[in-house]
Amino acid sequence: MSVLKTSAFGAVVAAMLGASAASASTLPFTESFEEPSFKGKWAVFADGITNWKTTDGQGIEIQKNGTIRGVSAHHGAQYVELDSDRRKGGSDDPDEGSNSSMTWTGELDPGRYHLEWFYLPRTSKKDDNAISVYFSGDENDLHETLLGTQNETRPPIKEWVRTLYIFNVEETGKYAITFKAGGKENTLGGFVDSVTLSEVPLPAAGWMLVAGLGGIAAMKRRRKS
């Protein structure tokens, strides 16, 4: 697999190349965390939720609009926090920390993929809102390739931030995407919403433009058996 890592720069490139690529997209998945439904403002799911498995920590915490004053989902009425509070669900293991991770797994064919998601920090404390995103073709190492990390504070960030990563898949197989909380384990961390993975063909001329702009690093890794 080869990986092209982008964040803000990747979003700019996508906007410049935009309409023709988007029209040819396929959609492996899109997720705005509207399921499961539950009573109350928030809950923690120790084993995971639809399409996402808890792979570290207390579980996946889902919050509803209005749980935190001034915070609404980017799309719909629910969003994720991964510095998860074990109250209202969560792991029975007292040694599990509050920083948690969630993983999607699925089969991907060879091609170029865009992973888009939206991030919002919760607190004003430095290194308290980190969310890292990993891509892996190795089921024994979900942190095989770091696509990027968001680690901001609120304020100055008050609105959901769009983040885009671009990567290539070289062979058909089962792959994993993992979102992992980092920083202080105090049950207050960054939020995740509106995750979309799409395959977007890009004409050769488009890659010439990307190469001319520079700023995208390429990595090659061998999938482990």
Q: Tens of pLDDT along 100-132?
A: 999 999 999 999 999 999 999 999 999 999 999
Segment 34-59 mean pLDDT: 96
CA 123 – CA 126 distance, rounded (Å): 8
pLDDT confidence band for 205 (50 / 70 / 90): low
Using DSSP's 3-state secondary structure scheme, residue 90 falls into coil
Listed in sequence order, the residues at least 6 apart from 83 whose beta carbon sits closer than 8 Å to its beta carbon are 61, 98, 99, 100, 181, 183, 184, 185, 186, 187, 188, 189, 190
CA 24 – CA 19 distance, rounded (Å): 9
Radius of gyration of the chain (CA): 17
Which DSSP category does 7 fall into? Answer: S
Give the pLDDT score at 202. Answer: 62
Region at 45 (left for phi over 0; alpha for psi -120 to 50; beta for the rest): beta
pLDDT confidence band for 201 (50 / 70 / 90): confident
CA 71 – CA 63 distance, rounded (Å): 10
Q: Does residue 99 have a pLDDT over 70?
A: yes
Give the pLDDT score at 25. Answer: 63
**Measuring CA to CA, how many Å separate 106 from each of 46, 48, 192?**
21, 16, 20
* Highest mean predicted confidence (pLDDT) among 1-5, 21-25, 77-81: 77-81
Handedness of CA 12, 14, 16, 19 (dihedral sign): negative
Would you state the torsion angle of the CA atoms of residues 132, 135, 136, 141, taken in this order, to the nearest 10 degrees?
A: 0
Give the pLDDT score at 20. Answer: 37
What predicted TM-score, i.e. pTM, was given to this entire model?
A: 0.82
Q: What is the pLDDT of residues 45-56, one digit of tens each?
A: 999 999 999 999
Is residue 114 a contact partner of residue 164, using CB atoms and an 8 Å limit?
yes
Q: Does residue 10 have a pLDDT over 60?
A: no
Q: Does residue 12 have a pLDDT over 70?
A: no
The full set of domains in the chain, from first to last, is 2-220 (2.60.120.200)
pLDDT confidence band for 82 (50 / 70 / 90): very high
Give the pLDDT score at 206. Answer: 54
Q: Does residue 94 have a pLDDT over 60?
A: yes
CA 189 – CA 129 distance, rounded (Å): 4
Is residue 165 a contact partner of residue 197, using CB atoms and an 8 Å limit?
no
